[in-house]
């Protein structure tokens, strides 16, 4: 077989392999949405449980209007948990959650380096990347967005 023939055969194989791999895309998007939602659940719960302490911490970090910001961030996170789990308004909720992640990285985690074991920016960066995927690719077929908005 000629080198061109090998390349052609591999190209056909890879094309078929890629097509078959697309079947799992929505399932992995569902799993990713749920994983991110679970990750935000504890953070949102802790902020709400101690909203005054959260506001005080936000003040120390230099956030403007710390009590308002604490309520805003906590509300966005709680809303995000529900919407991501359901796959509803996924692209819309991804944006404010991405802003929260960038803010957390820059104001809390960046000075600690990358490693999550040292409270570094590893986990918030992963959340940011996942949220970016939800923003750019949507929630997948297993979502209320797909059901309501016909896949848009």
Q: Per-domain residue ranges for the chain?
A: 24-149
pLDDT over 70 at 151, yes or no: no
* R_g of the chain computed on alpha carbons: 20
Instruction: Say how many C-beta atoms besides its own lie within 10 A of residue 132's C-beta.
Output: 14
Sign of CA dihedral 26, 31, 34, 40: negative
Give the pLDDT band of residue 6 (cuts 50, 70, 90).
Answer: confident
- Range with the poorest average pLDDT among 8-12, 25-29, 138-142: 8-12
State both tokens at 10. 């591999």
State both tokens at 118. 């040292």
Structure-model confidence comparison of residues 5 and 28, the more confident one? 28
Residue 64 backbone zone (phi > 0: left; psi -120 to 50: alpha; other: beta) = beta
**Averaged over 144-149, what is the pLDDT?**
94
Residue 138 backbone zone (phi > 0: left; psi -120 to 50: alpha; other: beta) = left
């Amino acid at each position: 077989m000629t080198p061109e023939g090998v390349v052609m055969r591999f190209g056909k194989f890879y094309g078929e392999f890629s097509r078959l791999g697309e079947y799992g895309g929505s399932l992995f998007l569902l799993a990713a949405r749920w994983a991110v939602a679970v990750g935000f659940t504890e953070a949102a719960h802790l902020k709400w449980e101690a909203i005054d302490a959260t506001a005080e911490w936000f003040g120390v970090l230099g956030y403007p209007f710390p009590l308002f910001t604490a309520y805003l961030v906590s509300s966005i996170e709680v809303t995000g948990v529900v919407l991501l789990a359901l796959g509803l308004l996924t692209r819309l909720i991804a944006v404010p959650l991405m802003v929260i992640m960038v803010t957390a990285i820059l104001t809390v985690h960046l000075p600690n380096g990358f490693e999550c074991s040292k409270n570094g920016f590893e986990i918030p960066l992963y959340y940011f990347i996942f949220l970016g995927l939800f923003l750019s690719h949507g929630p997948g077929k297993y979502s209320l967005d797909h059901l309501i908005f016909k896949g848009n």
